[in-house]
Amino acid sequence: MPQTPLAPAVPGKFAAFKDFCRKAWALTRPYFASEDKWKARGLLLAIVLLNLGAVYMLVLLNEWNRVFYDALQDKNQPVFWEQLGRFTYLAFAFIIIAVYRFYLTQLLEIRWRAWMTTHYLQRWLADHAFYRMELARYASHGTNGANGNGGNGTAAPDNPDQRIQEDLNLFTTYTISLSMGLLNAVVTLLSFVGILWGLSGPFGFTLGGTSFNIPGFMVWMAVLYCAAGSIITHYIGRPQIRLNFLQQRYEADFRHHLVRVREYSESIALDKGEAVERVHLESRFSTVLGNYLTLIKKQKNLIWFTNFFGQAAVVFPFVVAAPRFFSGAIQLGQLMQISSAFGRVQDSLSWFVDNYSSLAAWRATTDRLTSFEESFTALNQAQLAQTAMNSVATSGSATGLETQDLTVALPTGAVLLEGVSLHADAGENVLIKGPSGSGKSTLFRALAGIWPFSRGATRLPANTMFIPQRPYFPNGSLRDALAYPQPAGSYSDAQLRQALEDALLPKLTERLDDEDAWSQKLSGGEQQRLAIARVLLKKPSWLFADEATSALDEDAEKILYERLLAQTRQAGGAIVSIAHRPTVAAFHGKRWELEKQPEGAPALYRLTQTRA
């Protein structure tokens, strides 16, 4: 599992903070250096200028405080009404700035999120990364073999769907809001600290017969007040970083299991597994709830302090400046201006206090995305290493299937097959046999070039197609499910209907535009026939079928295999099948059989090639 945020890779608090900033910048920089960089930078510049404008309006309102309250104290009615009019246009200008600052900030956030989502989706779906990540997760729970095949050196991120859907949204939102908030705090501090310094005047006192004079006393009191608050806030709120990290992970695990129950609803209902699934879901939700209750307890402790800190800050400047007011050194307007300026300085210096919970959530999100990014790096390195050991070539001129010195391992590191050389020419239909669990499907994956725990060379004809044990059908229209992964528009309605007819699915020919969850709507036999309809539609020369007719009756199986054989024969290819039924074996003239090896052999199985 990824390292938690409370265990930084670089020792020392400053070094850890520097390392975290480097990671956050590595996630931020690509968008602002991308093809969309000028729009992104323009929006960012506009937001910065609006934030600076908002601070300037606060400076003007602070000056308005002095004049307005002096007019009240002096009972100066003309100045009073004049300042009310001035406040109207100041407030109106501030409202305009606030509205457009919000709008442009949201626009930048959604554009940045859209870019990052597209960027990560491309990487996740490229080079079978989504598949290899799942294998890496499986391998991370197994044992690494001495031969180096196990584990594959890849990271095993949890819930990549949540990282793309939720974490990217949180990262862009928190990064912009916190960075703009920090900019506001810094600019406000620089704008008001001079005002407060000039208004507060010196503070003199005598200690041990020596007179001391502290200029800008209110500024130093604000610094002292906020420094103490920030230190206390950090020690009270620090546990929230790890708890936020875990909360996102537990929520994703709970959501993932809910989706699995929905996807396998029929199987669970037939097995009467509702009680078991309820226990599993309740257990996962208990973990979510337990961590969340711990989190809100820590948040409650922090809120106790931050609210006390905020309320005390309201009266603090009055308490400190009251002696000068009552002595007549300053008027009511100046007192109110001091209070306003102190509040702005204190708000700026208290930015860390006020935003600690958001910072903790941002830290957790950034760490999760960083580990996700590291998993892509690990996968790329593993891919390069795998490419050096294993090559799968497709050639338009190749007429047969050939492997040389192919070694296939399991994710745990155990070697399944070692040094296998296979050959099949066009017209040589091959049946792969072996006991259940012997790795027949794994051999198929190695032949397809998607199995990372293998090495050797594989040569395939260009026009090949694979039917897995569990074919995938996207939710949507039937025509899209049938044509997948090609666009449905690539085929005419007549071609689509003919493929369904040939696959013994005549009832579906009038449902091409119906939209449904076909993986759940169709029976197992109908799903297998729909997968065969794809083959009959696309007409590959070579077909690799993994238990493609196991859910069909013998008559339907015979009809469909005859049609598949006729099609591949006409295209100048062959069929390579995994099957257990003798009725399927009759359609194949060549057999590759996996046989169990004795203990101590270099591989778990050996493969023999015979003719039927």
Of the two residues 227 and 524, the one the predictor is more confident about is 524
| Dihedral Cα 483, 488, 494, 496, nearest 10 deg | 20
The confidence score (pLDDT) of residue 151 equals 39
Whether residue 152 has pLDDT greater than 60: no
| Mean pLDDT calculated for residue range 438-453 | 87
Of the two residues 337 and 388, the one the predictor is more confident about is 337
Taken in order 520, 521, 526, 527, the sign of the CA dihedral is negative
Q: Is the pTM of this model over 0.75?
A: no
Regarding beta strands 390-395 and 454-461, do their DSSP bridges make them parallel or antiparallel, or are they unpaired? parallel
The confidence score (pLDDT) of residue 145 equals 35
| Mean pLDDT calculated for residue range 500-525 | 91
DSSP H or E run through 54: helix 37-74
Please say whether the beta carbons of 157 and 372 come within 8 A: yes
Of the two residues 463 and 150, the one the predictor is more confident about is 463
Q: Which residues contact 425 (CB under 8 A, 6 or more apart)?
A: 399, 400, 574
Of the two residues 399 and 91, the one the predictor is more confident about is 91
As a three-state string, the secondary structure of 250-290 is HHHHHHHHHHHHHHCHHHHHHCCCHHHHHHHHHHHHHHHHH
The full set of domains in the chain, from first to last, is 13-383 (1.20.1560.10), 396-611 (3.40.50.300)
Please say whether the beta carbons of 325 and 73 come within 8 A: no
Confidence of residue 581 (pLDDT cuts 50, 70, 90): confident
Nearest Cα to Cα of residue 120 among 156, 450, 36, 112: 112
CA distance 556 to 461: 29
Confidence of residue 505 (pLDDT cuts 50, 70, 90): very high
| Mean pLDDT calculated for residue range 571-591 | 90
The confidence score (pLDDT) of residue 13 equals 67
CA 487 centroid distance within chain: 27
* pLDDT tens figures, 47-85: 999 989 988 888 888 788 888 888 888 888 888 898 888
Q: What are the DSSP E strand ranges found in 232-378?
A: none
CA distance 387 to 381: 10
Among 140-154, 328-342, 466-480, 569-583, the minimum mean pLDDT is found in 140-154
The confidence score (pLDDT) of residue 157 equals 65
Per DSSP, 329 falls in state: S
Nearest Cα to Cα of residue 426 among 242, 573, 226: 573
Confidence of residue 5 (pLDDT cuts 50, 70, 90): very low
* pLDDT tens figures, 116-137: 999 988 888 887 788 887 777 6
Please say whether the beta carbons of 460 and 393 come within 8 A: yes
Please, what is the average pLDDT of the chain?
82
* pLDDT tens figures, 248-300: 788 888 888 887 787 777 667 766 778 888 888 888 899 999 998 998 888 88
Of the two residues 335 and 109, the one the predictor is more confident about is 109
Q: Is 560 helix (H, G, I), strand (E, B) or coil?
A: helix
Number of helical H runs and strand E runs in the chain: 20, 15
Among 15-29, 179-193, 273-287, 388-402, the minimum mean pLDDT is found in 388-402
| Mean pLDDT calculated for residue range 583-606 | 89
The confidence score (pLDDT) of residue 610 equals 86
DSSP H or E run through 50: helix 37-74
Regarding beta strands 542-546 and 415-420, do their DSSP bridges make them parallel or antiparallel, or are they unpaired? unpaired
CA distance 334 to 143: 73
Q: Is 7 helix (H, G, I), strand (E, B) or coil?
A: coil
Neighbour tally for 556: CB within 10 Å? 17
Distances (CA, A) of 100 to 38, 166, 292, 508: 19, 26, 35, 53
CA distance 291 to 4: 15
Nearest Cα to Cα of residue 401 among 458, 463, 466: 458
